[in-house]
Structure 1
Amino acid sequence: MKLQERFKNLLITIGFNASEVNTLWFDLHDVYSTKSRYYHNLNHLKEMIVLYDEYNLELEFPNEVLFSIFYHDYVYKVTRKDNELKSAEYALSILPSITTLNKQLVFDMICATKNHQHNKIEDINWLIDFDLKILSKNWEDYKMYCSQIRKEYKIYPNILYKPGRKKALQHFLENQTIYQTQEFKTKYESIARNNIKAEINAL
């Protein structure tokens, strides 16, 4: 199913009027398609939704997770440190007053994609892992990801970018685990750590 159809079906399911859905889709599409988004774009959403479909039966709140996927990077500016908070606030602001979604859970889910820390709510851990799956791709795909992130931060010269990127990557390595679900830890943890170490060495 196409991304647009998934979006529309979800919104109608959770309480939106059909008349609102097209406008919201075109808004979402335009935001994620801006020229400055080399990685945090519609393709990133598609890759997360592939994982969502694969592990859907593990989720207690699948609609909250899917809605959070669509809006978790709605606000994305490399000069800001509150992108996730602003994305979460926006996501809640557009929800209808009567919705089947747990609004607080949606807010917490989107905010959790900032620090990627383990959460007592397992669905938040799944969302975090979907978001970070790129870190465990094969090396060629990982290098492509690195290049895309560098382009998103192109306003910064290497003398600023490299130390900042290294600090962010070290943060992942310093955590007890990168991934929060047992499934992802088992399958992808070691690959992700090796990729991150290799990127640090290349900076």
Structure 2
Amino acid sequence: MTRMPHTRAAAHPRYDALLAEWNELLRRCQSAGPDDTPDPGPYGREVLERWAEPQRRYHTLDHLSEVLARATELTAYADDPDTVALAAWFHDAVYRPDRSENEERSADLARRALGEAGVDADRTAEVVRLVRLTVTHDPAPGDADGEVLCDADLAVLAGDPASYAAYAAAVRAEYAFVPDPDFRTGRADILRRLLDLPHLFRTPYGQEHWERTARRNLTTELELLEA
């Protein structure tokens, strides 16, 4: 990985806890012994710094922290919770709101970084697959790890009214360069596609605890956009 100056991310109140969580996770996933593998710290600091880039308003360290927490909440449904966690760390590690290839570039970063950091090829390939899956949030039936990652990423849709309003405002701020009529049209299209899905969430927990609230939030936002 290219080394970057570490400044913005360290100001986040959960920076130390997130870095410690990363270090523990990567050590568990490295295929060789601790004396034969790179120090996880520099990799974690770079990933955290990426999540703290100034162009982000929603896809921030707060979002990363939330997705990691929701993935932990869904651990019982995952085949390989550590692989899901690695994918959560990388799923928006590359993010430019004016680009369409963010997930692909994030997957490529995961492939390069995890290979260099001593994670075996099979696990690295699975992380790459899971990151790419967040383009569609449409895991195949039986893809337990894909279901957990996608549910964790979409759990924000099931927030209370104030939390959801803050999420929607952050998304709009991230796309401040888009004129309001164009944003309303594009955002409404996304909301309709989500509402047309048979299920927003694939895990039993997500369907039971998040589905109804998320659909209510999406419907309310769509009505406001179309008003």
TM-score (norm 2): 0.84
- Name segments (4+ residues, structure 1) moved above 6 Å: none
Equivalent of 2:130 in 79, 94, 109: 109
Match of 1:10 in 2: 25
Match of 1:151 in 2: 173
Gaps of 5+ in 2: 1-15
Map 1:1-203 → 2, pairs under 5 A: 2-15=17-30, 19-96=38-115, 98-100=118-120, 102-119=123-140, 120-203=142-225
Q: Deviations over 1:152-200 (max 9, x none)?
A: 0001110211101111111101111111112211211111111001001
Report if aligned partners of 2:47, 2:93 keep a CA contact under 8 Å in 1. Answer: yes
Q: Secondary structure at the match of 2:146?
A: helix
Deviates more, 1:8-17 or 1:144-153: 8-17
The separation in 1 between residues aligned to 2:208 and 2:220, in whole angstroms, is 20
The separation in 1 between residues aligned to 2:158 and 2:27, in whole angstroms, is 34
Kindly, what percent of the aligned residue pairs are identical?
Answer: 25
Report if aligned partners of 1:29, 1:42 keep a CA contact under 8 Å in 2. Answer: yes
The separation in 1 between residues aligned to 2:102 and 2:109, in whole angstroms, is 10
2:130 partner letter: M
Q: Secondary structure at the match of 1:96?
A: helix
Q: Secondary structure at the match of 2:210?
A: helix
The separation in 2 between residues aligned to 1:142 and 1:96, in whole angstroms, is 37
Deviates more, 1:28-37 or 1:165-174: 28-37
1:58 CA drift (Å): 2.7
2:179 partner letter: P
Aligned residues: 203
Q: Deviations over 1:131-160 (max 9, x none)?
A: 000001111100000000000000111021
Report if aligned partners of 2:67, 2:153 keep a CA contact under 8 Å in 1. Answer: yes
